[in-house]
A and B are shown apart, each in its own frame.
Chain A
Amino acid sequence: MKINWFKYASPTAFYPVAGRLVPVFGVAALALMLFALYWGFFETPERLGGTNPQKEYYRIIFIHVPAAWMSMWLYLVLAAWSAVGLVFNTRLSFMMANAVAPTGAIFTFLALWTGAFWGRPSWGTYWDWDPRLTSELILFFLYIGFMALHSAIDDNRRADQAAALLAIVGLVMLPIIYWSINCPDPNNCAALHQRSSVTDIESNILTAMLVMTLGFWLYSFAAAFARLRNIILLREQDSAWVRKMVDEAGAGPSSSPPPGAGAADGLDAGGHRASRGVSV
Chain B
Amino acid sequence: MKARQKRLMFVGVAVVGVGIAASLALTALNSNIAYFFSPSQVQAGEHPTDAVFRVGGLVVEDTLKRQEDGLTVHFDVTDNAEIVNVSYTGILPDLFGEGQGVVAKGRIGTDGVFYADQVLAKHDESYMPPEVEDTLQTAHAKGVVETSTESMPAASMPATGQTVTQ
Contacts and interface: CB of A to CB of B under 8 A. Distances in A.
A88 B130 contact: no
B133 to A, nearest CB: 4
Interface residues of A, number: 54
Interface string B122-149: 1111111111111000000000000000
A89 B4 CA distance: 8
A160 to B, nearest CB: 13
Most chain B CB atoms below 10 A, which of A58, A131, A192? A192
Interface residues of B, number: 61
B100 interface: yes
B95 A54 contact: yes
Interface in A151-177: 165, 168-169, 171-172, 174-176
B113 interface: no
Given A168-B11, A190-B36, A175 B151 contact: no
A278 to B, nearest CB: 30
A6 to B, nearest CB: 15
A171 B15 contact: yes
Interface stretch (B23-31, B42-50, B61-69, B70-78): B23-31
Contact of A188 (B30, B101, B152, B164): B30
A23 B60 CA distance: 56
A128 interface: yes
Interface string A128-160: 111100000000000000000000000000000
Given A190-B56, A192-B35, A175 B26 contact: yes
Most chain A CB atoms below 10 A, which of B96, B123, B132, B134? B123
A202 B15 contact: no
B129 A45 contact: yes
A233 interface: no
Interface string B2-42: 00100110110011001001110110011101111010000
B112 interface: no
Contact of B14 (A54, A121, A165, A190): A165
Contact of B119 (A124, A191, A200): A124
Contacts, number: 170
Contacts of A165: 14
Interface string A174-210: 1110011001001111111011110111100100000
B156 A195 contact: yes
B26 A179 contact: yes
A50 B18 contact: no
Contact of B7 (A87, A124, A172): A87
Contact of A205 (B127, B156, B165, B166): B127
A209 B31 CA distance: 34
B130 A48 contact: yes
12 contacts: A53-B95, A89-B7, A121-B94, A125-B120, A171-B15, A171-B22, A175-B22, A186-B157, A192-B120, A195-B125, A197-B125, A200-B153
Closest 5 CB pairs of A and B: A124-B93, A49-B130, A45-B129, A49-B133, A197-B125
Interface of B: 4, 7-8, 10-11, 14-15, 18, 21-23, 25-26, 29-31, 33-36, 38, 56, 92-97, 99-101, 103, 118-134, 151-158, 160, 164-166
Interface of A: 45-55, 58, 61, 83, 86-89, 121-125, 128-131, 165, 168-169, 171-172, 174-176, 179-180, 183, 186-192, 194-197, 199-202, 205
